[in-house]
Chain A
Amino acid sequence: MKRIVWFLLPLALFLGLTIFLFQGLYSDPRERESEALAKTFPTFQLPDLMDETITYNNDIFAEQVTLINVWGVWCTTCAIELPYLEDLKDQGYRVVGLYYDQDLDPDFGTKTIQRVRSEVLTTLSKYGDPYAFNIFDVYRDTSLDLGVTGAPETFLVDKEGVIRVHHLGDINDRVWRNKFVPVLTEMGELIHKNTDEVGS
């Protein structure tokens, strides 16, 4: 009896360790719980990307459920998701860009705002423009407050200004159906696709 125990004990330990390490192979180290979820969108006061005389603040959420898409022209994945976002806009969702630039260091700027604007216009005309408007996160403060680690990231904000979904990475059909649609349904804000669009 004792012998069997001494034989099985190391085997059990070994198997336990193996299973523990094996599942580690398939875990995504980048997967983290979002801290922004269920919190109110951080207070901000930022200019429009195209016209600095227009200023936005948290009042923009009052009218309609909003998708805040953090992006930049330097980000390739952002360009890839533009057509999909444009499709969402066509369905009736409101997509607002939170733009931040990589080469524009607020303290040691190397790029002019005119150049940023022309780059943005080029990108949007090339891949599609889903945005109702773009908020320019000049100092990237709001991105930091949101816990953004890199573009693209998308937030679903309800009319009370509370963040309901925080998604890291691009939005595609799969992500939309699995992550956004259930929450939108729960909120009663899901917009059904036009029937003729389904037919085509």
Chain B
Amino acid sequence: MKISTFKRFSVLFAAFYCLALCFPASAQEDSGNNTASSTGVSHVKDYDENYAFEDPKDRKTFLELTAVLRCPMCQNQNIADSDAMIAHDMRRKVYNLLKEGNSKQDVIDFMKERYGDFVYYQPPVTPVTVWLWALPVIFAFVMMGVFIYRRKTEVPQQDIAAKLDAADKLLKDE
């Protein structure tokens, strides 16, 4: 009895895992916003001095963009964090582009055109990268299939009960 409950939980877990994987985009969006606000705190002072926005909404976009654009020189930092010259220049460019009235997507496209998909932390879905999302889902489904298959071909309950009895008997005999 206990064994089948465990298996039921496993299947349930796998199902939840699949669900979670189905929404990578929304998850990414959230984390992006978090980074923006967390880096925003430490950089507010600098940005207030150097990059002034009249509209607080533009400022928010600026902070979001500098958090999701990746520095091509120091690869594991976004351009808000990095002190490389290229990051300085890219921040200035983002600022100027926003000032000129470009949208968030315009700025991302501008950078992608020059530095490739590499520059944006959200990878595009291409035949190569689609496996990042597909593989875990496929894995989960295969595992679910295995669970179901094994449950069907399970040894009858009575058999186990009989075996347990035999084991108990052996223990008692000792």
Contact = CB atoms under 8 A, between A and B. Distances in A.
B34 to A, nearest CB: 25
B48 to A, nearest CB: 15
B114 A147 contact: yes
Given A35-B116, A144-B114, A150 B89 contact: no
A35 B113 contact: yes
Given A102-B85, A140-B89, A144-B90, A32 B116 contact: yes
A150 B86 contact: yes
Contacts of A144: 86, 89-90, 93, 114
A125 interface: no
B89 A149 contact: no
B75 A30 contact: yes
Q: How large is the interface on A (under 10, 10 to 19, 20 to 34, 35 or more residues)?
A: 10 to 19
22 contacts: A30-B75, A32-B72, A32-B116, A33-B116, A35-B113, A35-B114, A36-B114, A102-B85, A105-B88, A140-B89, A143-B89, A144-B86, A144-B93, A146-B114, A147-B72, A147-B114, A147-B115, A147-B116, A149-B72, A149-B73, A149-B115, A150-B86
Contacts of B73: 149-150
A35 B86 contact: no
A149 B114 contact: no
A141 to B, nearest CB: 8
Contacts of B163: none
Interface string B56-84: 00000000000000001101000000001
Given A33-B116, A144-B93, A147-B114, 15 more contacts: A29-B75, A30-B75, A32-B72, A35-B115, A36-B114, A107-B50, A107-B92, A140-B85, A140-B89, A144-B89, A145-B114, A147-B72, A147-B116, A149-B72, A149-B86
The 7 closest A-B pairs by CB, nearest first: A147-B114, A149-B72, A35-B116, A149-B73, A140-B89, A147-B115, A149-B86
A32 B86 contact: no
A32 B118 CA distance: 8
A181 B91 CA distance: 37
